[in-house]
Chain A
Amino acid sequence: MPTIDFAITGLLEKSSLPAFYKSILMKVLPSMSQIQKEDLFVTLTKESDRRKEIEERGEEICRYYDMVATRLEKDPDELFDSMNYSEKKEKGKETKAVSKGKLSSIKGKLDLETLKKQVGGK
C-alpha cells in the first residue's frame, strides 16, 4: 500500500466523519488521483490537528475549574480573597496603562507646542 494511502487510512479511522463517508472513501481510495489523495490527506490532517487543539484546550479548562472546585471545597474565602487581589492588580495595571497613555499624549502635545514655537520663532 502506498505511504499516502496508509496515512489516509489511519487518519480516516480516527476522523469524526460519518461512517458512511469513511467507508466510501476507503473504497475509492485506490482509484483516486494523487492530487485527490493529497487533498484528502491535508483535510484529514487539519482535522486531526484541530481536534487535538480542542482536546488540549478542554483539558486545560477542566484543570482550571477542577482547581477552583478544590479550593471552593477547602477554603472559599481564601479563593475569593486571592481573586479580589488579582482583580485589583489587573485594574491597577489598566489604570497605570491609561495614565501612561495620557502622559505620553500630554508629552506629545507639549513637544508639538515646543516645535511650533521653534518653527514660529525661526
Chain B
Amino acid sequence: MSFETPEQLGTGSADSSLLSGSLIPKWLHEKFTGVWGRLTRAFDKFKNQKDAGILKRVGAFISGLFEDYKDLTQESIKTREETTKKADEIVAQCASPEDVKKVMETQVFGARELTPEEKDASDTLLGVASETWLSSPDRIAVATVGDSLVSDKPCVDPKDLTLDQKLATMKFSIGYVKALQKHCKDKGISAEVLAKKLEKLEGLNRFKSKIQAAMSVSMASAVSSVFDDPLKIAKLSRLSSQLPIDKLQKGTLDKSDIAPLLPHTSSNSELMKTAARVVNGAAKGEKVPTIDMARLILGIHERDFENLIQMVS
C-alpha cells in the first residue's frame, strides 16, 4: 500500500493499526509502532505549521517506514510458508492417522489419561478428523486456521487469516462432516449416541467460541478479499438474497426460509426445523445443542453442507 498525499498519512487514516501485528516478532513490531508514532506525531506538528514542503518529506519517511515494514512481513510470511510446506511433506511421509489423532487428543483433552467414554468419543470424532486431515489437500491452511483460532500464541493472528485459508477450512469441515456421516452410518451410530460423543469433546466448545470471535474480527478483511473473486461474491450474494436478512439478524428464521438454500434436504421437515433452530441460535450467539448438531451431521444432504456452514458462520 502506498499513500497518495502526505495528508493521508496524518494520524486519522494511517494509525499504527496499518502495521498489522502477528507476522513479525512482537518485540520488533513494537519497535516499528514506536517509531511510527514518533514520525506521525512529527507529521501532525508540521501539519499545524502548514509547511507543505516539510510535510511532503515527513510523509515520505512514514511511507518509507511502511513499505519497509511491509517488505519485512512479506519475507516473514514467505519464510514461514516455505518451512511449513517442507514440514508438511515430512508429516505426509512419516505421520500415521493414529499419530495425528494422538496430537488432536492432547489439544482437545490436554495431556491427561482419557476415560473410556472420552476414548470412545475420540476414536470416532478425532479418528475420522485425523484421517480426513491427512488425506486433505488443504492440510496447511486447516492447521494454520486451527492454530490461529485456538493457540495461545498463534502463528497467524486471526485477523490476518486469508479468505483462501478460511474457505479451505470450510471445505475441510464439509469433508469432515461427510466422512463422519459415512462412519456413523457404517457403524450404525444414532444421532443420540453421536450427540453423547460430541459432548465428551469439551475442547470443541472452546474451539467453537473462538471461531465465532475470529469470524467477526475478520469479517472486514474477508469482505474486501471477496472482491478479488467474482465467483465468491456471487456465492455469498446468493445466500444473502435468498435469506430474509431482517429475520436472520433477529434469529427468527422459519424452516420455510431456510428450505430454498438446502434444496436436497428440504423434503425432511424435522431436519429443516432443526436447521432453522441452529441458524437462529448461532445468529443470537447461543450455544448450539449437541443433539441438534448430531441430527444435522447425520441427516443433512452432503450438497447442503456448504450453505449450512455459511449460514452458521
Contact = CB atoms under 8 A, between A and B. Distances in A.
A7 interface: no
Nearest to A26: B103
Contact of A40 (B69, B75, B90, B155): B90
A50 B69 CA distance: 16
Given A21-B143, A54-B75, A58-B28, A65 B87 contact: no
B144 to A, nearest CB: 5
A15 interface: yes
Q: Which of A18, A57, A73 has the most CB of B within 10 A?
A: A18
B70 to A, nearest CB: 11
Given A18-B146, A54-B76, A44 B94 contact: no
Interface stretch (A28-36, A90-98, A103-111, A113-121): A28-36
B91 interface: yes
Contacts of B93: 36
Interface residues of B, number: 51
A4 interface: no
Contact of A68 (B31, B39, B91): B39
Q: How large is the interface on A (under 10, 10 to 19, 20 to 34, 35 or more residues)?
A: 35 or more
Interface in B139-174: 140, 143-144, 146-148, 151, 153-155
A23 B61 contact: no
Interface string B10-25: 0000000000000011
Given A16-B155, A54-B24, A61 B65 contact: yes
B87 A43 contact: yes
Nearest to A33: B94
27 contacts: A16-B76, A16-B80, A16-B155, A17-B87, A18-B147, A18-B151, A18-B155, A20-B103, A21-B88, A23-B107, A24-B91, A27-B95, A40-B87, A40-B90, A47-B82, A54-B75, A55-B25, A58-B72, A59-B31, A61-B32, A62-B28, A66-B35, A68-B61, A69-B38, A69-B42, A72-B61, A76-B42
Interface of B: 24-25, 28, 31-32, 34-35, 38-39, 42, 46, 54, 57-58, 61, 64-65, 68-69, 72, 75-76, 79-80, 82-84, 86-88, 90-91, 93-95, 99-100, 102-103, 106-107, 140, 143-144, 146-148, 151, 153-155
Top 3 A-B residue pairs of the complex, sorted by shortest distance between their CB atoms: A18-B147, A69-B38, A20-B143
Interface of A: 15-21, 23-25, 27-28, 31-32, 36, 39-40, 43-44, 46-47, 50-51, 54-55, 57-59, 61-62, 65-66, 68-69, 72-73, 76, 80, 83
